[in-house]
Chains A and B, each alone.
Chain A
Amino acid sequence: MISIRNLHKSFGKVEVLRGVNIEVAQGEVVVIVGPSGSGKSTVLRCINKLEEPTSGTILVDNFDIMDKSTDINMVRTEATMVFQHFNLFPHMTVLENVTLGPMKVRGMGRQDAQKIGRSLLAKVGLADKDSNYPDQLSGGQKQRVAIARALALQPKAILFDEPTSALDPELVGEVLEVMKQLAVEGMTMVVVTHEMGFAQEVADRVLFIDEGVVQVDKPPREFFTNPEHPRLKDFLGRVVC
């Protein structure tokens, strides 16, 4: 589904990614962890081409995003993004936020888009908030709307960029719960997060990125119970209580 080969990314003289290789199969949940500044969010943003990769190959649904002839707008609808800071559109109602993509990108009629939008809002537990504006919602509610917005395009995969990092602790659970449900339904997900519990419980594979490369790529059980890599040991020692 998503294939990243030898991805390099530099910001000016700083090389953030130094040859990242990741394969994500259809229906797989891959969680990426690592110290801050290690480049894990950059990997995700490269998949969506919100950052221009310096070199390497990225295939999304077999489309080469580095190829100039690839319609990047179309590829983005197959792997939509959920952001740390939600980035909801504040001037639109919750329902309008969700229906904008289907209407303007997929060319769907208002009625059909609203039908899909309402059912997705119900799915994330916000059926009654459709006519509210984003600024009237809590952080957890906002992030659930953002997930509904990402789902509305019926993508093949969803990319989560630290989806709970900006939330108050008591609101983290409601967002993770929605994500778990998606995983159970077979959605392909790439999740950058600090929530080790989520990684342990939901991930098919957990990746440890440090110094711009994937240092460890293992199923969660091995990843957490038997961390051989010294830097991973050190990292887990600091984040897992």
Chain B
Amino acid sequence: MAFNFEPAVIVESIPQLLKGAELTIYLTVGGLFFGFILGALFGLMKLSPSWPVRKIAGFYIETIRGTPMLVQAMFLYFGLPMAFGFRLPAMVAGVIIIAVNSGAYIAEIVRGAVQSINTGQMEAGRSIGLNALQTMRYIIWPQAFRRMLPPLGNQFIISLKDTSLLMIIGVGELLRTGDEIVAVNFRAFEVYLACGLIYLTMTMSIAKVLKIVEKRMKIEGR
């Protein structure tokens, strides 16, 4: 049986796929928003002088990094309801999974960036009377944040692609939408190709935006 490539199928499925892509964007933006907060929090906790605080952050990072996201998603969506008799809406569960997952990786990005700032900066801040928190806020963080941008961009792209795994818990994001179309028209080649192209467009947009941000935040003279 000869294979016939039918570009028309791609065109036809685009409107529906874009609806799925919309959910993909919500999952990514929501997940990364909370993921960045978690990452900043746990990243700084890992640098705490207090041993238990460091350990708590370390436990979170190791546990999340060390288990597959698919397992986490299925545990949260199918496993926990067995114990508690209550299931979160799929979108909420999806955002939580992306947030908790990206948060663990972002924590390491934050820790590395903050540690890379010369100790002389902290000393200079303290020497003019700023307290530790002010020194972090006005001196260390703004410099560290610039160093976070390239690895953050990487993580944003990874998290966007990871949303496709959430099809397993029934979130109608891009890949699941494609799957549903294929179930009806059996045009796996065209539909998954279209899905891939839409993912590529989205990841390239992230890269582009981050490049612009990086350029605008560049320190003069460096």
Contacts and interface: CB of A to CB of B under 8 A. Distances in A.
Interface of A: 48, 50, 73-74, 76-77, 80-81, 83, 85, 87-91, 100-101, 104-105, 132-137, 149-150, 152-153
Given A83-B123, A91-B142, A91-B143, A136 B220 contact: yes
A76 B221 contact: no
Interface of B: 118, 120-121, 123-131, 134, 138-139, 142-143, 146, 219-222
Nearest to A82: B127
A48 B124 CA distance: 11
Contacts of B219: 90-91, 133, 135
A164 B121 CA distance: 19
Contact of A135 (B125, B143, B221): B221
Contacts of B118: 87
Contact of B221 (A101, A104, A136): A136
A81 B129 CA distance: 10
Contacts of B142: 91
A150 B123 CA distance: 13
A134 B143 CA distance: 14
Contacts of B138: 89, 100, 104
Given A87-B121, A91-B142, A91-B146, A50 B127 contact: yes
Nearest to B142: A91
B222 A90 contact: yes
A140 B121 CA distance: 19
Contacts of B120: 83, 85, 87
- Counting from the closest, the 4 A-B pairs by CB-CB distance are A135-B221, A87-B124, A77-B129, A136-B221
Given A73-B130, A85-B120, 17 more contacts: A48-B126, A50-B126, A50-B127, A73-B129, A73-B131, A76-B126, A77-B129, A80-B128, A87-B121, A89-B139, A90-B219, A90-B221, A90-B222, A91-B143, A105-B134, A132-B220, A149-B128
